[in-house]
Amino acid sequence: MLVLRITIAVMGFLAAIVLNPWVPAIAIIALAFLFRAWEALLLGLFIDLVWSPVSYLPVFTIGAIIIVWVFEPIRKEFLV
């Protein structure tokens, strides 16, 4: 499972540099659903730093916090 976690995180960070910023959002959701994902928070922050202008809200960071917070009880219930 550790290999899967690292693979999803690395793919998310590479996609944040090369692809559309919505593609790593899928990695954030996958990480938050499968693991306790501090990587999802870092990925959201990284997307905001790479893609957002200075004056806007950190949308992906706030979104990652909400997604990790919402998926925590779901992950505990279904994935034990």
pTM: 0.86
Quote the percentage of the chain above a pLDDT of 90.
56
CA angle 14, 44, 77 (to 5 degrees): 105
40: nearest Cα among 27, 59, 22, 23: 27
Model pLDDT for residues 18-49, shown as the tens digit of each residue:
998 888 999 999 999 888 888 999 999 999 99
**Predicted pLDDT at 12:** 94
pLDDT tens sequence across 62-73: 999 999 999 888
Cβ atoms 9, 27 nearer than 8 A? yes
Give just the sign of the alpha carbon dihedral 73, 36, 33, 65. Answer: positive
Distances from the Cα of 40 to the Cα of 2, 35, 55, 63, 73, angstroms: 15, 10, 23, 10, 16
